């Protein structure tokens, strides 16, 4: 009994520390800054894809490409440094919340939400590292350097690699389904302070939230589908990322229209994230 108590002491201490961090005003500001950073990244990805759909010289890109686009703008390094802080804040918020299971302004998270928080926290922590690498001049020349086929090819060579890659694809398809469900059922409103919105603001927030979640559902579904195809065909070149998913849309017979629609949805998700920074229950 005493050994179990001894093992539990570090866990309780870590949880208590997490609670103290979550209650700090600075933690809330970091979380909200992170939502702004997420909005900026998705907004740039969407705008570039919209321009490509209308033949105005845009391109498809991923989150890393969006950060590199920012770095090339006037005062880009300063803006990128602010984004890096925001991305770090978002990652910290998601990981701490996943650890303690709730936030200061909202109720308990279920197991699925906590797992999602860990995955999201790690992903945005990696994006923060990418931003810092670009600032230090070691961020690479473009999104192609991080083509998912290279990572997928390495995993396919593992024992049971095909199963792992296929399972990852199915999980991402599941995430796409969840995003679609959140959009159609407007479940994202449950995490927002709708009581603080005016009627018009709530309409706009709901509209961009629905459009944004549905656009992400399409992109995630394509990424997951081609990851499953890569596993079945044992061909890592079939794996795609966010930029690849947008490119696949543009190659369809109704490509420009489909790409423009989904790209507009990603811009909407960027706007939703900016509004979410104000109204989210952290």
pLDDT in tens, 130-140: 999 999 986 54
**Residue 143, pLDDT score:** 41
| Burial of 125 per CB tally in 10 Å (0-12, 13-18, 19+) | middle
Query: Which range (110-114, 203-207, 210-214) has the least confidence?
Result: 110-114
Alpha carbon distance 58, 51 (integer Å): 4
Q: Which long-range contacts (CB under 8 A, 24 or more apart) does 35-38 make?
A: 35/90, 35/273, 35/274, 35/276, 35/277, 35/280, 36/86, 36/273, 36/274, 36/277, 37/82, 37/83, 37/85, 37/86, 37/87, 37/89, 37/90, 38/86, 38/87, 38/90, 38/124, 38/270, 38/273
What average pLDDT score do residues 185-189 get? 96
- pLDDT greater than 90 at residue 13: no
- pLDDT greater than 60 at residue 1: no
CA 73 to chain CA centroid, Å, is 23
Q: By the 8 A CB rule, do 89 and 127 touch?
A: no
Alpha carbon distance 211, 269 (integer Å): 7
| Burial of 133 per CB tally in 10 Å (0-12, 13-18, 19+) | middle
- The ranges assigned to domains in the chain are 17-279
Q: What pLDDT digit, counting tens, does each position of 92-123 carry?
A: 989 988 888 876 666 678 888 899 999 999 99
Alpha carbon distance 279, 282 (integer Å): 9
CA 155 to chain CA centroid, Å, is 22
Report the DSSP beta bridge partners of residue 280.
Answer: 192
Q: Which range is most confident: 55-69, 88-102, 164-178?
A: 164-178
Q: Residue 241: how many CB atoms within 10 A of its CB? A: 25
Radius of gyration of the chain (CA): 20
What average pLDDT score do residues 134-158 get? 69
Q: 């950060």: which residue's tokens?
A: 67
Q: Residue 18: how many CB atoms within 10 A of its CB? A: 17
Helices (H), 101-160: 111-135, 148-156
| Burial of 68 per CB tally in 10 Å (0-12, 13-18, 19+) | buried
Alpha carbon distance 92, 80 (integer Å): 18
CA dist list (Å): 75 to 70, 80, 122, 135: 9, 9, 28, 12
Q: φ and ψ at 175, to 5 degrees?
A: -60, -40
CA 15 to chain CA centroid, Å, is 26
């Amino acid at each position: 009994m005493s050994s179990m108590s001894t093992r539990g002491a570090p866990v309780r201490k870590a949880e208590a520390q997490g609670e103290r961090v979550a209650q700090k005003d600075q933690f809330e500001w970091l979380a909200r800054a992170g939502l702004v950073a997420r909005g900026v990244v998705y907004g740039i990805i969407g705008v570039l894809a919209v321009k490509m759909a209308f033949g105005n010289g845009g391109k498809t890109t991923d989150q890393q490409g969006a950060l590199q686009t920012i770095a090339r703008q006037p005062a880009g390094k300063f803006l990128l440094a602010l984004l890096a802080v925001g991305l770090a804040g978002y990652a910290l918020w998601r990981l701490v919340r996943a650890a303690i299971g709730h936030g200061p302004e909202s109720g308990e998270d279920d197991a699925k939400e906590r797992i999602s928080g860990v995955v999201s926290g790690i992903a945005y922590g990696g994006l923060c590292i990418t931003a810092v690498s670009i600032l230090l001049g070691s961020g690479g020349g473009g999104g192609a350097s991080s083509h998912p086929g290279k990572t997928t090819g390495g995993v396919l060579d593992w024992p049971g690699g095909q199963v792992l890659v296929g399972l990852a694809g199915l999980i991402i398809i599941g995430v796409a389904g969840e995003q679609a469900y959140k959009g159609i059922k407007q479940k994202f409103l449950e995490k927002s302070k709708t009581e603080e919105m005016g009627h018009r603001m709530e309409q706009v927030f709901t509209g961009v939230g629905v459009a944004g979640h549905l656009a992400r559902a399409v992109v995630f579904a394509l990424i997951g589908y081609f990851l499953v195809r890569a596993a079945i065909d044992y061909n890592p070149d079939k794996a795609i990322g966010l930029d690849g998913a947008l490119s696949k849309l543009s190659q369809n017979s109704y490509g420009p229209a489909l790409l423009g629609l989904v790209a507009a949805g990603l811009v909407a998700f960027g706007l939703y994230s900016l509004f979410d920074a104000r109204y989210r229950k952290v």
